[in-house]
Structure 1
Amino acid sequence: MKIIVPMAGRGSRLRPHTLTVPKPLIPIAGKPIVHRLVSDIAKVLDEPIEEVAFILGDPAFFGDDVIASLKELAESLGAKASIYRQDQPLGTGHAIMCAKDSLSGPAVIAYADTLIRADFDLDKTADSVIWVKQVEKPEAFGVVKLNDKNEITELVEKPEQFVSDLAVIGIYYFKDVAVLKDELQHVLDNNIINGGEYQINDGIKQMMQKGKKFVSGKVDEWMDCGNKNVTVETNMRMLGFLEKDGEALVSKSVTLENANIIEPCYIGENVVLKNTTVGPYVSVGDNTAIENSTIKNSLIQTNSKIENANLDNAMVGNHVKYNGNYETISIGDYSVLE
C-alpha cells in the first residue's frame, strides 16, 4: 500500500502562522498535522505501507528541514519517502500527477489539511473508496450521491439543491491508482478545467463513466485546520481523544512553580510554568515559558515566552514574546508584544 499526500498549498487562511511554517507542519497536540494524518491512516489500514509520496510546493518554503521531517515520518512507518514538487497551483488533479512515478498499485490519497478519527474495514472489492462525513450544511462542501447499494453514483460540488449530507473529506483509496493516473492524464491532455484548475473529481468521474465501482467510507471524526479558530478547536478535540486513548501528554521535564495543569493538555519538553494555570485543552510546545497567566482552549508553539496573559481561544507561534491583557489572539512566529 502507498500513501500519496498532496501538500503544496501555502495555507493562506491560517496566516500569520503559515507565513514561516507550512500548514501541514503546524503541530496539533504536539505533533504536526501531516504526521498525525499519515500515522492515523496507516493505523486504520492495518497493513504494511511501502511508500509515502509527498507533493510539496516552492523549495524556498518547503525546504530541507521539511523534507527531513517527512522522511522521518515515512521511515517511522517502515516506508520509503518520495518527494515531488508542484511548481504551480494548478489544482488537485495536477498535484497528484506531479507524483505520477509513484502512481501504481493500491494507494490512499490524502490531502494534508484535515485530521480524522476512524475505525473501518477497507472494502477491497471496490475500485475506489471515497471517505465522507455527515455534515449539517452540505451546500458548503463537495458531496456524494449514493444508490441503495452504498455505491457512489455522482459527485456534486457545493450543491445549490439538496443531494446528500455526506461531504467528501479529501481521503481516497484506489485499488490500482494507475487507473486514476490514466484518467488524470486525459484531463491534462485535453485541458479539462473546472474552477480554473485541474481537479481530481474529473478523473474520478471518468472512472465512474467507465463502470468502475466507487463506494463510500465513513469516518467517526473529521477535523479541519483551515483557519485559526477551527485549528484551536481541532487541537481541543484531539487532546480529548488522546486523553481517552491513555496517551501521555505532559512531559516529565516540565517545571511547575506555583502552577496547575488542568487536563487534557499537551505540555512539551522543558516547559516552565510559573504562577500559572494552564488548561483545559491547551497545547504548549517545547522550551516555552509561561508566567503569571491563565490559559485555556489555546495552542502555543515552541520557544515562546508568555507573561501576564489571560488567554482563551488563542493561537501563538514559535519564538514569540507576549506580555498583555488581550484574551483571544493569533500571533505568528517571531512576534514581540510587550
Structure 2
Amino acid sequence: MNIIVPMAGMGKRMRPHTLTVPKPLVPIAGKPIVQRLVEDIAKVCGGDIDTIGFVIGKHFGEEVEAHLLTVAKSVGGVGKIFYQEEALGTAHAIYCAKQALVGNVIVAFADTLFKADFQLDVEQDGIIWVQKVEDPSAFGVVQLGEDNVIREFIEKPKTFVSDLAIIGIYYFKDGEHLRKEIEHIIDNNLKDSGEYQLTRVLEAMKRQGVKFYPGEVEEWLDCGNKNATVNTNKRYLEYIRDDKLVDDSVRLINSIVIPPCYIGKDVKITNSVIGPYVSIGKKTDIADSRIDNTIIQNESVIRKANITGSMFGSHSVYDGKARNLSVGDYNRIEE
C-alpha cells in the first residue's frame, strides 16, 4: 500500500500558527496532525505500508522534510518528498507524487483527521471516506445507489441530495489508472474553477466502470482553523485518555492536572490547575495559572493566566489574564 499526503498549502486560516510551521506539523495531543493522520490510516489498512509520499512546498525546509521521513518510518513505510510549486488543484497535488501512483494507493489530504471502525477492503475498486453532516451544502457529497455503490459526486449541493460528506481520504485499487486519468485532464487543460480537480477524475473513472464505495467514519475532525484544531485536540485526548500522556520528567509544584491532558518532556508547572483537555509541549514553564481546553506548544512561558479554548505557538510568552487566545510562535503578551 502506498499513501500520498498532499500538504503543500499555506494554511492561511491557521495563522499565526502556520507562519513558522506548516499546518500539518501543528501538534494534536502531542503529535503533529500529519503523524496522527498517517497512524490512523495505517490502522485502517491493516497491512504493510510501502511508500508514503508527502507533497509539500520547497519552502518547508530540510528540518520539516527530515521529520516527515521519520513519520513514515514510524509506521513501517519509506518516506519520499515531492514538491508542488504552484497550487493548481487537488488532482494536480496528487500528480506531483506520480511515482507513488502504483498499485494500491490511499490519498489523504492533511487538514483532516478521523476515527473509524472499519477495515479497508483492498479488493474493492475504490473507497471514499465519508461522514454524515447536518448541512451538506458546505461540502462535496456522494449519492449512493441501491447497491451501496457511489452513483454521483456533487460539490456543495444547493438542494438536498445526500448528507454523506467527502472528508478528503480516498482509496484506489489501481494507482496507475488514477495517474492516467489525472494525466488526461492536465494534458487537455480540463479545469474546474481554474484548477485540476479530483472530482472530475473520479467521475471519469466511474464512467469507465470503476465502482466506488463509501467508507463511513465515526467522527471527522477538522484542523482548518484555531477553534477547530483546539476541539480536535480535545477529542483526541478523549480517545487516548488511557495512554500514558504525562512524561516522567514533568515537575508539578503545588499544582493539579485534571485528565485527560498531554504534558511533554521537561515541563514545569507551579501553583496551577491544568486541564481537562490541555496539551503542553516540551520545556514549557507555567505558573499561577488556570488552563483548560488549550494547546500550548514547545518552550513557552505562561504566567497568571486564566484561559480556555486557546492556542499558543512555540517560544511564546504570556503574562496576564485572558480567556480565549490565539498566540503565534515567539509572540510576547504582557498585561
Which category of TM-score, normalised to the shorter sequence, fits these structures? over 0.9
Of 298, 301, 306, which residue of structure 2 is paired with 1:302?
298
1:31 equivalent in alignment to 2:31: yes
Q: Which amino acid aligns with 1:48?
A: D
Residue-by-residue CA offset, 1:301-332 (whole Å, 9 max, x unaligned)? 00000000000101000000101112100000
Residue 9 of structure 2: aligned partner: 9
Q: In structure 2, how many angstroms separate the alpha carbons of the residues matched to 1:251 and 1:80?
A: 29
For 2:282 and 2:91, the matched residues in 1 are separated by: 37
Identity of aligned residues (%): 52
TM superposition shift of 1:123:
2.8
Question: Which of these residues, 274, 277, 299, is aligned with residue 281 of structure 1?
Answer: 277
Counterpart of 2:146 (choices 120, 145, 148) is 148
Q: Distance in 1 between matches of 2:6 and 2:172?
A: 15
Which deviations, in whole Å up to 9, do the C-alpha atoms of 1:94-149 show, x marking residues without a partner? 00111111111001110011111112122334211001000011001000000011
The secondary structure found in structure 2 opposite 1:286 is coil
Partner of 1:41: 41
CA offset digits 1:174-196 (Å, max 9, x no partner): 00111111111111011111122
* 1:146-225 correspondence to structure 2 within 5 Å: 146-225=144-223
Residue in structure 2 matched with residue 226 of structure 1 by the alignment: 224
The answer to whether residue 232 in structure 2 is matched with residue 263 in structure 1 is no
Q: Is residue 3–residue 107 contact of structure 2 (8 Å, CA) maintained in 1? A: yes
Q: CA–CA distance in 2 between the matches of 1:335 and 1:240?
A: 30
User: What is the deviation of 1:77?
Assistant: 1.8
TM-score of the superposed pair, with normalisation by structure 1: 0.98
**Letter of the aligned partner of 1:78 in structure 2?**
G
Note the residue ranges of structure 1 that are not aligned, 5 or more in a row.
none
CA contact (8 A) 2:46 2:119 kept: no
Cross-structure match for 2:71 = 73
Query: What is the SS of the residue equivalent to 1:70?
Result: helix
CA distance, structure 2, for counterparts of residue 75 and residue 23 of structure 1: 21
Q: Output the CA distance in 2 between the equivalents of 1:310 and 1:324.
A: 8
Structure 2 distance, partners of 1:2, 1:75, is: 13
Match of 1:250 in 2: 246
Per the alignment, residue 135 of structure 2 pairs with 137
Amino acid at match of 2:45: L
Equivalent residue of 2:215, what SS? strand
Measured against aligned partners, the alpha-carbon deviations of 1:22-48 in whole angstroms (never above 9, x if no partner) come to 000000000000000001100111100
Instruction: Tell me the matched-pair count.
Output: 334
Q: 2:104, 2:122 within 8 Å by CA — same for their partners in 1? A: no
2:83 aligns with 85
Moved more, 75-84 or 234-243: 75-84
Gaps of 5+ in 2: none
Q: Counterpart of 1:120 in 2: which secondary structure?
A: coil
Report how far residue 13 of structure 1 moved.
Answer: 0.3
Asked if structure 1 preserves the Cα contact closer than 8 Å seen for 2:24 and 2:110, the reply is: yes
- Answer whether contact 2:46 2:120 (CA < 8 A) is retained: no
